[in-house]
Amino acid sequence: MTPKRKKRLIIILSIVFGTSLIVGLVMYSLNQNINLFYSASQIANGEAPVGARIRAGGMVVDGSVKRATDSLRVSFALTDYEHTVNVVFTGILPDLFREGQGIIAQGKMDENGIFQAIEVLAKHDENYMPPEIAETMKAKKEAAQ
């Protein structure tokens, strides 16, 4: 190998090595930080892991929102019109949160089958449904027919 070629080889090898190192690190931290989405039915069927950070979505059941009188603790039920899951959240709910509205909650399932939300997301207008929910509901509808 000529010295020039050798130099090139070293450069190329270090680029390949550097890139794979970066990609490896990125993939590692991606896998540490992805939040899987579960529908109410999946949670009711026990598909959702207990204690892992996940996202749950559905429509807020009418008449299910209950507030504590001495703190900001709120409990409500989420449904995909087949199963429901109970959610507990302490804090301030977003402006667009209301009964009958599609929302996404981020948090963990506890041992009692209650979803402990850390964050509740409700975006857009009153007709909006997060795509995740819309899709699971559509799949339900098709399966029923």
Applying CB under 8 A, does 126 fall inside the site for other proteins? yes
Rounded Cα distance, 117 and 80, in Å: 18
Rounded Cα distance, 20 and 17, in Å: 5
Applying CB under 8 A, does 71 fall inside the site for other proteins? yes
Residues 17-56 that bind other proteins (CB under 8 A): 22, 25-26, 29-30, 32-37, 53, 55
Instruction: Give the SS3 label for residue 117.
Output: strand
* CB-nearer residue toward other proteins: 2 or 32: 32
Instruction: Give the SS3 label for residue 48.
Output: coil
Residues 91-110 that bind other proteins (CB under 8 A): 91-93, 95-96
Q: Which of 46, 119, 124, 54 is nearest to 83 (CA)?
A: 46
Note the residue count of the chain.
145
Residues binding other proteins (CB under 8 A)? 22, 25-26, 29-30, 32-37, 53, 55, 67, 69-72, 90-93, 95-96, 123, 125-126, 130-132, 135
